[in-house]
């Protein structure tokens, strides 16, 4: 039962490790946009949310708050809705960062208090943010997630993750006497493998040239006999001797060419 869910835990951990650096870059870019909006929309004059502050600052929350008049455009407002910290979320860098997060998920209400025609810089930043973050980097993140999930969505990734966790436990969390328990750490471990799959894997290693090594020669010969695989082992020493002979021939040819060049130089000199 644990193995059934363990594959998904392995995917979560391995994918998180692969995209961690990308998320850091994405977070830095989001912070830069939040800082840009914070500098652009920060009120330039002093104000207080507790008292009505009238000035010409377009970023003043009192000037951004909803107002109600008697219907005449030029008349003074009869009622003004008391602003709060969410009226202009860019008076603080923390709320500015949260406003950019809302913009990332499609909520642009934090910027709806400004007229885009009168503030082209805001419109330019919104367009840049949508193209760079929402369109490009978000789709790139989805592609990276898809590739990472395809690589780790198998039983092997789960077993590798399980082995890493067990190795960490054995190294750092076990007491010395626990490491000597034979029930946990036996001298001999038996492995079971399907004969057909083992035969296919050995043939693949032979074709790729990864089988002819000097390690575990007796075990390899026994495997050939048990699995009925016919393979002629090529001795690496023979190959090395042939290579050495070729190098010696090349050296002798080089020496002959040098002698011929010297003779030609002497002939031209005469």
pLDDT in tens, 70-87: 666 555 665 777 888 888
Range of the domain at 124: 2-152
In a domain, 6, yes or no: yes
The sign of the torsion formed by the CA atoms of 103, 109, 113, 119 equals: positive
As given in the structure block, the two tokens for residue 19 are: 């995209």
In a domain, 208, yes or no: no
In a domain, 54, yes or no: yes
Dist CA 49 CA 122 (whole Å): 24
DSSP secondary structure code for residue 72 in this structure? -
- Count Cβ atoms below 10 Å from residue 90 Cβ, excluding itself: 23
Contact 92, 85 (CB under 8 A): yes
DSSP secondary structure code for residue 137 in this structure? I
In a domain, 252, yes or no: no
Contact 123, 74 (CB under 8 A): no
What is the value of pTM for the model shown? 0.58
Strands 79-80 vs 67-68: parallel, antiparallel or unpaired:
antiparallel
Contact 91, 43 (CB under 8 A): yes
Cα separation of the two ends of the chain: 92
In a domain, 231, yes or no: no
Beta pairing partners, 68: 79
In a domain, 142, yes or no: yes
| Residue 35 confidence (pLDDT) | 95
Q: How many domains does the chain have?
A: 1
In a domain, 9, yes or no: yes
On the 0-12 / 13-18 / 19+ scale of CB atoms within 10 A, 174 is middle
Pinpoint the alpha helices (H) of 42-131: 61-64, 93-104, 120-129
In a domain, 43, yes or no: yes
| Closest listed residue to residue 91, CA positions, set 50, 30, 48 | 48
| Residue 103 confidence (pLDDT) | 92
Tell me which H or E stretch contains 261: helix 236-269
| Residue 232 confidence (pLDDT) | 62
Dist CA 270 CA 140 (whole Å): 73
Dist CA 93 CA 96 (whole Å): 5
| Residue 139 confidence (pLDDT) | 93
Dist CA 66 CA 23 (whole Å): 38
Which residue numbers in the chain have pLDDT < 50? Answer: 1, 235-236
DSSP annotation string for 5-39: HHHHHHHHHHHHHHHHHHHHHHHHHHHHHHHHHHH
Pinpoint the alpha helices (H) of 82-216: 93-104, 120-129, 138-152, 155-172, 176-179, 195-207
């Amino acid at each position: 039962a644990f193995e059934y869910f363990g594959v998904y835990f392995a995917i979560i951990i391995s994918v998180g490790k692969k995209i961690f650096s990308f998320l850091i870059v994405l977070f830095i870019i989001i912070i830069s946009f939040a800082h840009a909006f914070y500098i652009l929309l920060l009120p330039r004059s002093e104000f207080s949310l507790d008292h009505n502050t009238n000035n010409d600052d377009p970023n003043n929350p009192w000037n951004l708050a909803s107002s109600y008049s008697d219907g005449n455009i030029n008349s003074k407002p009869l009622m003004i809705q008391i602003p709060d910290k969410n009226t202009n979320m860019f008076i603080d860098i923390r709320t500015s960062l949260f406003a950019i997060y809302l913009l990332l998920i499609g909520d642009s209400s934090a910027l709806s208090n400004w007229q885009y025609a009168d503030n082209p810089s805001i419109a330019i930043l919104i367009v840049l943010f949508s193209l760079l973050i929402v369109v490009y980097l978000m789709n790139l993140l989805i592609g990276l997630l898809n590739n990472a999930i395809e690589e780790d969505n198998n039983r092997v990734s789960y077993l590798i993750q399980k082995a890493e966790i067990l190795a960490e436990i054995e190294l750092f969390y076990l007491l010395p006497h626990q490491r000597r328990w034979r029930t946990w750490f036996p001298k001999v471990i038996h492995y079971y493998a399907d004969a057909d799959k083992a035969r296919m894997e050995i043939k693949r290693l032979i074709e790729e040239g990864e089988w002819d090594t000097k390690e575990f020669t007796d075990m390899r010969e026994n495997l050939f006999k048990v699995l009925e695989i016919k393979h002629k082992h090529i001795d690496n020493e023979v190959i090395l001797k042939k290579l050495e002979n070729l190098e010696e021939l090349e050296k002798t040819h080089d020496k002959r060419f040098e002698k011929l060049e010297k003779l030609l130089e002497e002939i031209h000199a005469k």
